[in-house]
Amino acid sequence: MELGLLFSKVEKKLNDSYINQTFKTEISNFKNIVISNKMLSECYYLYSNLTTKQGMSSDVAKEYLEESIKTIKNKKDHLFLIDLKNWVKDVVCENQYVKIDSLLKEDVLKITENIENKKQLVSTLTESKDVVKKQFVPFVENVVKYNLEKYIDGLEPEVLQQLDEVFSKKEDELKPDFDVLKENTLIKLKNHILTNNDEEIKQKLNETVQTVEKEPFNKINYLKLQNLYEGL
């Protein structure tokens, strides 16, 4: 089953929980199955962002789409989806993310279709933000944003400025800065571990150290690391 269809089923299940009065149960399932899985929650966040009006410039939107697709591809084959599939197996709905799923496949028979898919996704990203977003966003987006550890927090104006700055640069310009930023972030994290007496916080910090150490360079990871460093 395509990842986009699974995420569409998640959204319908959460929406229907309002009507079925099962919200507490389903939001708990959402936290346990999606949010607690870091790679899965990041993919879900990217899928949602790529289909939401963001007010980006055309150049930034194209770069953001390219980097997002690259990030999803790198994570997709490593996702644990059994629990998610079981949770939404009875949900029937259309795939709201079919354009993204198509880009991930890279089907040579759909090159023309995927060119159009890219154009439409970029067009959406460049449109001004809506005041009213998707129905599920009021309760889900806040949970997702809180648990993604400073992951491009809602694309507010200052974050859009960061995006402009990062995506306007070439990767070979950013790579040395990324390496220095990673080293300095790890130093800060390890200092916090040494000076903190709370075992639960120390565990979280150690987990973050392990994540940062493994994080490969790309522009999205650069932004994540930059936000993490500034928040320490």
Q: Which amino acid is at 4?
A: G
Indicate whether 228 pLDDT > 50. yes
Give the pLDDT confidence of 56-79 residue by residue, as tens digits.
899 999 999 999 999 999 999 899
Give the pLDDT confidence of 159-180 residue by residue, as tens digits.
556 666 777 778 888 888 899 9
Q: Which residues contact 80 (CB under 8 A, 6 or more apart)?
A: 37, 40
Tokens representing residue 6 in the block? 């699974």
Integer angstrom CA distances of residue 195 from 93, 141, 160, 190, 191: 50, 33, 34, 9, 6
Indicate whether 223 pLDDT > 60. yes
Integer angstrom CA distances of residue 73 from 24, 47, 52, 67, 189: 32, 12, 20, 10, 29
Q: Residue 134 phi/psi, 5° resolution? A: -60, 155
Task: Report the alpha-carbon distance of residue 20 to residue 168 in Å, rounded.
Answer: 47
Reduced 3-state DSSP string for 1-20 = CCHHHHHHHHHHHHHHHHHH
Q: Give pLDDT, residue 18.
A: 65
Q: Give pLDDT, residue 10.
A: 92
Q: Give pLDDT, residue 64.
A: 92
Residue 195 pLDDT grade (very low, low, confident, very high; cuts 50, 70, 90): confident
Q: Which long-range contacts (CB under 8 A, 24 or more apart) does 188-197 make?
A: 188/229, 188/232, 189/232, 192/232
User: H helices within the chain, ranges in order?
Assistant: 3-20, 23-30, 38-50, 58-76, 82-88, 98-105, 111-126, 137-147, 157-167, 171-195, 199-214, 219-231
* CA 9 from centroid of its chain's CA atoms: 18
Percent of the chain exceeding pLDDT 90 equals: 32
For residues 212-222, give the mean pLDDT: 84
Determine which of 24-28, 132-136, 166-170, 225-229 has the lowest per-residue pLDDT on average: 132-136
Q: Which residue would you say has higher pLDDT here, 146 or 187?
A: 187
Indicate whether 155 pLDDT > 80. no
Indicate whether 214 pLDDT > 80. yes
Give the pLDDT confidence of 7-45 residue by residue, as tens digits.
999 988 888 886 777 877 888 898 889 888 888 988 998
